[in-house]
Amino acid sequence: MFFSKQFDPAVDVPSLAGKVYFVTGGNAGMGYATCQHLARHGAKVYMGARSEERANAALETLRSEGFEPGNGQVVFHPLDLSDPRKAKESGESLVQQETRLDGLILNAALMMADYAKSIDGIQDVMTVNHFSHFVFTRTLLPLLKTTAAQPGSDVRIVAVSSGAHSMVSKMRFRDLDDINKEYTDAMLPKMARYGMSKLANILFIKELQKRLDAENTPIIALSLHPGGVNTDGAQKSVENANIVVRGLFAALKGVIFRSASEGAYTSVFAAASPAVRAEPEKYKGAYLVPVAQVGQPSADARDPALAAELWATTEKVLADLGI
């Protein structure tokens, strides 16, 4: 999908001075760019990453590129999404450190990975992309709600999904058997499993928004498809793919794949654009497509019963694990 220039963070985002954001997977690719855009408008941004070494290298690059004109700051915060317990610990640590949180951007993702299960018996792509983000968000919700209750606040929760969510259909999330589906019969099993996790992102946001609305909490939750973005993660995800997929990526990346900075535009819009708060009913639970447009996800992604089923099963699986 080609990128329009209808939204440009440099001119369309106001001062974010005094605001605090958290970006998961903030040390590379679109996560890095999201941190940069927000900090350049004066925000304090926590860069969630597993590797402190890689995060520090990213912070050094950010400093060298400058935060002008807003001169915000970016701070490393350890976050390991490979284990929901560690995600919970990370969230608890942040709650002890911070008095407010204006935006949570769930950006980190495991892409076209080989099929493997975590120590808890959950396939890795769903552990990282859904379960750990679910736990992390749940842990931070009290802080997000406290911030939302303050006068003049504008709190957002943003999940970076993908158009790949439409690769799967007629889904169910009744139990771990559904969640651990291998898609061995699919043409691209790795992409199908990734697509399932991205469908989970959209459904999570839909059900989360429903629950926030039910208790009159003025937080806006959104999911989005960033478009084709040429990041290290995208390139690594196709390294082990077949020759057709690798060739297609090589041919198209300079045409329809944009830089990580441009790829982050829709994330920044979702997290910080005044346009979202100006029309809350338009954007609550919405699925955005580049750049900053409300799109329509797949039929499964629009199914409220499936969203409720995923939420209930997620809570049961986590409860059974004592998380």
Q: What is the CATH number of the domain that holds 54?
A: 3.40.50.720
What pLDDT is attached to residue 237? Answer: 47
pTM of the predicted model as reported, rounded to 2 decimal places: 0.91
70 found inside a domain: yes
C-beta of residue 160 within 8 angstroms of C-beta of residue 269: no
Candidates 262, 280, 120, 123; CA nearest to 192 is 123
243 found inside a domain: yes
Catalytic residues: 161, 194, 198
Tallying the residues shown for the chain, one arrives at 323
258 found inside a domain: yes
What pLDDT is attached to residue 229? Answer: 62
284 found inside a domain: yes
* Beta-sheet strand order (sheet of 20-24): 73-78, 44-49, 20-24, 103-106, 156-160, 220-224, 287-289, 293-295
Residues contacting 215, CB < 8 A, separation 6+: none
Q: What CA–CA distances, in Å, run from 232 to 180, 239, 292, 311?
A: 27, 11, 23, 31
4 found inside a domain: no
Please state, as a whole number, how many other Cβ atoms lie within 10 Å of the Cβ of residue 239.
9
2 found inside a domain: no
- Residue located via tokens 């209808």: 6
Report which DSSP code applies to 146.
H
- Residue located via tokens 């690719």: 29
The whole-angstrom separation of Cα 107 and Cα 160 is 5
C-beta of residue 284 within 8 angstroms of C-beta of residue 220: yes
The whole-angstrom separation of Cα 239 and Cα 244 is 11
- b vs e for 107-129, b when ≥16 Cβ sit within 10 Å of the residue's Cβ? bbbbbbeeeeebebebbbbbbbb
The whole-angstrom separation of Cα 75 and Cα 245 is 37
Q: What is the DSSP string of 170-197?
A: S---SSHHHHT---TTSSSHHHHHHHHH
In the chain, helix, strand, coil percent, each to 5? 50, 15, 35
Residues contacting 195, CB < 8 A, separation 6+: 162, 164, 165, 166, 167, 168
What pLDDT is attached to residue 228? Answer: 79
282 found inside a domain: yes
172 burial type by CB count under 10 A (0-12 exposed, 13-18 middle, 19+ buried): middle
1 found inside a domain: no
> Range of 114's domain?
9-320
What pLDDT is attached to residue 6? Answer: 81
Number of domains forming the structure of the chain? 1
Q: pLDDT averaged over consecutive 10-residue blocks of the chain (323 residues)?
A: 68 96 98 97 98 97 83 96 99 98 99 95 98 99 99 98 96 98 93 98 99 99 87 49 50 59 96 98 98 97 99 99 98
The whole-angstrom separation of Cα 147 and Cα 154 is 8
The whole-angstrom separation of Cα 279 and Cα 105 is 20
